[in-house]
Structure 1
Amino acid sequence: MADQPLLTYRLATSPAPLQASTPDTAAQGRITLAVTPGDQDTYVESVQIAVPADGLSGGAYFAEQPDFSSDDDQWVTGSAVQVSAEHLGLDGDAQFYRAIFHYRGDDSQPVSGTVHLGVSGPLGDSTGTLELHISERSGPDPDELEVRRRTVPLVVTAPVFYLQAFLARSDESATVPKTKFAAGNSPYLSWESNGAYFRVYGGDGQIVHQGPETFFTLDARYLTMDTTYTVEASMSPGGEGSGSSFEQIYQYATLTLTVTDPTLAGLTVQGGIEGQSGLKLSGAADLRSTLAVGGSVTADSELTVFGSVSARGDIDVNGDMTVYSTLDVNGTLKANGDLGVNGTLTANGQVEAVGGDHYVRIRELRGPYGEHLHINSAIDVLSGCDVTMQEHLNVIKDIKINGHGVLSDKDNIGLYNNYYGGYLYASTYEKDSDRRIPYVWVPGNRVDESHWQISRD
């Protein structure tokens, strides 16, 4: 009797346990062997794997030649062949599918690490025990290798309706599952089941796929926000049974995909929102705390924030915008409705309200700290509105009322007599040493003596 293998073999199956086929449905079985060295140095030339090819072994078997595979290029297998029980050193007339994995690493060194060997294919319709035969040529010394055998019994049960391994990948060729995608991506969804018909529902109950296949590529229009997808499996080919009293049996599995840049119809947040890039809202947003965005904010409806708002880009709101604390905008601020800020409004870019029916209501208007307030446009004070200055009014040019200039201290003027005509001027005639006699210059033109200066008491 051959010694037990020196390598350690840990087995897993899918499904677990394996399930036999039916006359109508072939059941796929997959066996994975995780092969690792034991406690002592082990030199290996090859590992042989064999599985039953018919029911003459007295148990379950593979209905056709399975695929044998390895995840390590140092373990190479040739074509699988069908051999007799005698060829494997076993009794009986049963046939087996066999593959030999040859180690192509440095044979002067003991093997290390873990290699995964796989066997997959359709199982026959027999239940019971499927015997997996392992044979390795190995030894603790590279010059003293011998054959060591082990048989592992695997349970194969009658078919049980199952649905499992609902996964998403970037595309059909990807091997790594993922659950996080950008909006507009089309992930590849797959699952394992022996059902006959499947429907996949989006988070709102809409069918996004249906058919007999166990995979499909999700249409990009169904991935705009975080969504939990549900796959429904049934045994009826069309997904529905016939007969008024028939009640279908279903299996369900769910998968949640998250979207890094979602589009939301509405958003109510009790805490703060912080975005490293832009934020676009198609509906109303009601935030009970802070909104901080590294890019732009776009809201197609109302935006209400009970804390502060900070945006490093533009803010564009198509409805009313109400902020109950500080508003800090580094880009352009546009609100097509009312803009209410109960705290500080800071804009390092433009703030525009240019429509005929738009206005900005301000209780107190100040310039930047330590600087003057610059107004780069004409100002019209409407009827019924007064202007009150608590301190000085400094005007570089004229102040006009009804198109006429307003006189001020130090202004030079001329006094024209509308009745007789002519400008009042100071003559050279003195009444006495303290007083000079003024006259009116009848020719009407200005003379040097007709310029007078206004002085404030």
Structure 2
Amino acid sequence: MPSDDKLLLDYALSTDPAPVPISTAQVTSRVRVNISPSTSAQVYCDEIKIAVPVGSGPLSLFSSAPDGSVNTNTWAETTGAAQNGSDLWPGLDPDQDYVPLTFSCDVSDSLIDYNLVFGVFGAVNETVGDVRIMIRESSRTDSTDPFTPKQGSLWLRKAYPDFYLKNLVATTPDAPTVPSTDFPNGARIRLAWESNGTYFQLFMAGGTTPIYSGTETTCTLEDGVPRDSTFVLAASMTGSPGQDTSQGGYQPIYLYDSLTVSVSDPDLTPTSVTVSDTLDVTGTSTLGTTNTGALTSAGATVSGALQAGSLATGGTLNVSGSATVGQATVTGELSVQGGSTLNGATVNGTLNGTGSASLNNLTVSGLSASSGPVALLGTGVMLAQDTSIPQAGVEAHTDGFALAQVLIPSDVSKSSFAYGLINTVGTWFQVQGGTVGSFGSAWSDVMAFNPNAITVPIQAGTQWWYTAGNCNGNQQDSPIQIWWFPMGSNPSGEQTFRILSSEELADAPPPPATPSFNAFVAREEQVAAAAADFVDRLAEALEARLADGTRADLARLLHQL
């Protein structure tokens, strides 16, 4: 859409989704607005401010403050607090609140001759209407001229949402923005889609029972798939179909989408296998007993898990995963890296096990085992430290503990009230600290340090969130630290956690209202009242008539002592 002629730069606006749907009581519509300034002439610009109307009315876009972003690190973004239009810029609607997003150029050469895009992301309110986004740029056409402000606007319309289902995509959990259609056997697969439906069912080819049912628009298959598979997604604007008690021929309305993924090393299920020499398996192998036996070979190497009704090998058997065998005879060495269940085993060589083992009947002519202390707790990692920590998310790869610690300010005589928040299992847990004060006529004035910490257990495979900050009324802010203490380590040797991307934070739970604090407002009022009482008593004792102005001056001077 065109911008006003007063601006030197041209501004192009795009939205996702388009058109912009309003939120409903059932579904919150989150919309991304991208604004791209460009020009064919020579224009220098060191700052661009975007004022986004917020509120619940038809002229407001978002119901609360949005998030700002930019496509290059040569510009920095700062989001301000919501303000009335008359208090923000000249010419803005005095009956409308705006959130200002300020984008500042960090390089000395501010010539706009490259691709530049500003992003705004937030939750749309529930009212249809036309929205005016205000833009104020600081620009010039000559590098020797001073920068001067210029103002314009862009328009977009909010409309009633249509029922939609689109963009069913498969990714790895570690790279949720990179689509993929080919995965290793058993690798985790993250499926995501876009819809304003309220209930979803995900089916896999060959099955009649959904592998996922719920209201979220993502799901992760922790065990992946063993072979090429097609997924069919059904979306509806109702709840679970199994809860319906239809009347008068009622039928729910569904939208469908499908996606096929391939597996680079799929499981195969042959009717029989005959091995005359060594059997090498790079993936998981499930071998059932046949008329000639489950597996008979000179030796075997299984990189994944092994399941067999019976096993006989005259050489070495190496299993890097778990092993479940009904009856096993191993003439050479048996080496199992994972957990093992052997209902009957005869090992004439050495038995080496680095994982757990369940052995109902075992005969071993040579046994090697290691012993020593067992460490359950891994090395702690400090994820963040500052006086203000924006909300972030973490995916736990192991069980562990999240810790938020509020430290004391460098000067413990100063008032300081800080807080740390951790969210898991849908609940925010909070710790507060800094310093603590006591003021009053009955007690002496006291200001003491007050550090505090909170530890929250986290389950492996789940996501948790944290944020922290200081209250506005502090004399000096306190630092806050966020820690992660894993239980053990990731079996694959990977990091025990992963920081969620900014896209994944779109579904993060909103933090509770932050506490407010100003310990000295009441104290100042108390001291001022005491000073005024002293002047009154002094005038009475001296039998002096003091003018109101003189009384006020004496009270003020006494208050300053």
**Residues 92-147 of structure 1, C-alpha deviation per residue, up to 9 Å, x if partnerless?**
41111221111112x23513322332111111111122222222212222333222
Partner of 1:90: 92
SS in 1 for 2:211: strand
Percent identical pairs in the alignment equals: 28
- In structure 2, the residue matched to 1:18 is 20
Q: Does 1:188 align with 2:184?
A: no
Name the larger-Rg structure. Answer: 1
Inter-CA distance 219–164: structure 2 relative to 1 (3 Å threshold):
same
- Contact 2:56/2:126 (8 A) holds in 1: no
> Who is 1:127 aligned against?
128
Q: 1:192 to 1:239 in 2, by over 3 A?
A: farther
1:148 aligns with 2:150: yes
Who is 1:73 aligned against? 73
Alignment pair present for 1:258 and 2:262: yes
Structure 1 pair 135/178, CA: closer, same or farther in 2 (3 Å)? Answer: farther
User: CA offsets, 1:171-200, max 9 Å, x none?
Assistant: 155432222212211121111222111111
Check whether the contact 2:186–2:226 (CA below 8 A) recurs between aligned residues: yes
1:3 deviates by 4.1
- Aligned Cα root-mean-square deviation (Å): 3.2
Runs (5+) with no aligned partner, structure 1: 266-281, 286-294, 302-313, 315-457
State the shift of 1:253 in Å. Answer: 1.8
Distance in 2, matches of 1:68 and 1:22, equals 24
Q: Partners of 1:228 and 1:154 in 2: how far apart?
A: 39
Mapped contact 1:60–1:156 kept (Cα < 8 A): no
Whose helix fraction is larger, Structure 1's or Structure 2's? 2
Q: 1:111 — aligned with what? A: 112
Matched ranges for 1:393-408 at <5 A: none
Question: Is 1:219 the counterpart of 2:222 in the alignment?
Answer: yes
Structure 1 Cα separation of the partners of residues 131 and 109 of structure 2:
36
In the alignment, the residues of structure 2 paired with residue 258 and residue 139 of structure 1 have an alpha-carbon distance, to the nearest angstrom, of 55
Give the paired residue count: 274
State the SS of the aligned residue for 1:130: strand
Q: Matched residues in 2 for 1:109 and 1:133: separation?
A: 22
Whole-angstrom distance in 2 between the partners of 1:258 and 1:144: 59
CA distance in 2, matches of 1:204, 1:5: 59
Does the 8 Å contact 1:11/1:33 carry over to 2? Answer: yes
Question: How far, CA to CA, are the matches of 1:234 and 1:96 in structure 2?
Answer: 35
Aligned twin of 1:50: 51
SS in 1 for 2:82: strand
Alignment of 1:287-306 (within 5 A): none
Report if the CA contact (8 A) 2:26-2:198 is conserved: no
Equivalence for 2:102: 100
| Mapping of residues 197-216 of structure 1, within 5 Å | 197-205=199-207, 206-216=209-219
Contact 1:136 1:149 in 2 (8 A): yes
Question: Could you list the runs of 5+ residues in structure 2 that have no partner in the other structure?
Answer: 274-280, 289-299, 301-561
Matching residue's letter, 1:32: N
Displacement of 1:78 after TM fit? 1.8
Q: Tell me which residue corresponds to 1:169.
A: 171
**Counterparts of 1:229 and 1:5 in 2: how far apart (Å)?**
49
Q: TM-score, normalised by structure 2?
A: 0.44
The alpha-carbon distance between structure 1 residues 150 and 203, as it changes in their structure 2 partners (threshold 3 A), is farther
Equivalent of 1:7, from 6, 9, 22?
9
**Inter-partner Cα distance in structure 2 for 1:253 and 1:263:** 26
Q: Once structures 1 and 2 are overlaid, which stretch shifts more, 15-24 or 94-103? A: 15-24
Residues in 1 aligned to 2:135 and 2:67: alpha-carbon distance in whole angstroms: 16
Cα distance in 2, alignment partners of residues 195 and 138 from structure 1? 44
